[in-house]
Structure 1
Amino acid sequence: MSKPILGLVIPCYNEQEVLQETAKQLSAVINGMIDAGMIAENSKMFCVDDGSKDSTWNLIETLAKSNSMVSGIKLAGNVGHQNALMAGLTVAVENCDVTISIDADLQDDIDVIKFTLQLLIMTNLLIMVTIPA
């Protein structure tokens, strides 16, 4: 079985204060899973700018230029978290085998990404929804 391509979808709205650190931490998680042989090397993060008023989009562009794991999606205006998530999922599903979403402020434990991926692979589920405890 080939290694799955993981796509992390990250809806972003006015996240300039946290996005650099978020990308750093999520890159470390992805690289760790690549090194462990869990996912393919062309796994990605899809940062979806939901019409931010700050410099979020400029930061996404900078991150994408310096980190091949980062791709940016810019929405025309603020359409809300769920629509931004859907836009990211729509792109990710065309490019990835497994897609997981996480908020840009990393309010959820990023270690759950690895656990969720393992669970998806073990159970052969198509869809899984998790919520914080």
Structure 2
Amino acid sequence: MDITLVIPLLNEEESLQELHDWIAKVMQAHQYIYEIIFIDDGSTDTSWQVIETLSSSNKAVKGIRFQKNFGKSQALDAGFEMATGTVVITMDADLQDNPDEIPKLYDLIVQADYDLISGWKKKRYDNVITKNIPSKLFNAAARKTSGLKLHDFNCGLKAYKNKVIKTIKVSGEMHRYIPVLAKNEGFTKIGEQVVQHQARKYGVTKFGMDRFINGFLDLITISFLSKFGKRPMHFFGLWGSFMFLFGTTSAFYIGAFKLYRLYTGTKTILVTDNPWFFIALTSMILGTLLFLAGFIGELIIKTKSNEKHYSIKEKLNF
């Protein structure tokens, strides 16, 4: 199998037939052996019926239907698990990604030996205020945090070696940071390719302004996970130990100072009237909790792996 196309979708009934025909035309022109995996992420329209119709006329079309809407990351993860192509290409189902870009992306993976190629929609047809400006800020923060010099982390059009998508785990809303996830797993040959962005032809966007807030929160999460995700005790244990040591040292000093003043007959106050007593007590409690958080984190990592965060209702052609 040369290429697997993984296409998550939500309520895209109008665009699926046109998208399929366009992809099929490109694949036939270049004589690729291919499969298309549509992942219906809980659509409430007739998207699944359209996929069934496409599958009956083209055996290269496969489908996964979720029980409900679980999110794009979970849809991609399900598609990645089923993908068999040497090169795996992801794209959106709304016709804003151009299938004519597929051969160029394929060649960069196969001939130039890249692990991952991320699309860059250099010229966009989105609203400048609600999408373009926030997207530029988001990408700038992602570049600074991750060290990857990509212009468009969230572009849906990406190409991967099969071993990349079989190694990474996409959950939550981490689809925005797949290049970062790949880098964290040791895939360092990550490139970028300018791709054509097309204006939406059918339907409406499924993402609002909240995606940028969630995006920045996820960026903080993945920055932490990239450093301490596999060794949480190194973070929580370190700070827990430091705070507990600070608290116990402060408590010892308060007690010793109290005893000294009693011994010398100097007027003193109750230990509980000393504000440092509560600072020391709080530091000891927080230190203990942080240490326990690190310990529990280590246990979770060792006992919970490869857990799925979606449920499949039915499949086609698998």
Instruction: Give TM-score, length-normalised by structure 2.
Output: 0.37
Alignment match, 1:14: 11
Q: Determine if the alignment matches structure 1 residue 74 to structure 2 residue 71.
A: no
5+ long unaligned stretches in structure 1? none
Q: Work out the number of aligned pairs and report it.
A: 122
Over the matched positions of the two proteins, sequence identity in percent amounts to: 36
Alignment match, 2:96: 107
Does structure 1 conserve the Cα–Cα contact (< 8 Å) formed by 2:108 and 2:117? no
- 1:78 is paired with a residue whose SS is coil
Structure 1 distance, partners of 2:16, 2:73, is: 19
Does structure 1 conserve the Cα–Cα contact (< 8 Å) formed by 2:41 and 2:66? yes
Structure 2 distance, partners of 1:48, 1:130, is: 21
Q: Determine if the alignment matches structure 1 residue 57 to structure 2 residue 54.
A: no
- 1:128 is paired with a residue whose SS is strand
Structure 1 distance, partners of 2:46, 2:98, is: 25
Structure 1 distance, partners of 2:89, 2:114, is: 13
Q: Which has the higher contact order (CA 8 A, sep 6+)?
A: 1
Alignment match, 2:22: 25
Deviation at 1:106, TM superposition (A): 1.8
Moved over 4 A (4+): none
CA RMSD after TM alignment: 1.3
Task: Answer 1 or 2: which has greater helix percent.
Answer: 2
Deviation at 1:88, TM superposition (A): 1.0
Quick one: which of 86, 96, 101 aligns to 1:97?
Answer: 86
Structure 1 distance, partners of 2:18, 2:98, is: 14
Deviation at 1:33, TM superposition (A): 1.7
5+ long unaligned stretches in structure 2? 123-318
Instruction: Give TM-score, length-normalised by structure 1.
Output: 0.85
Amino acid at match of 1:98: V
Look at both structures and tell me which one has the larger radius of gyration over its CA atoms: 2
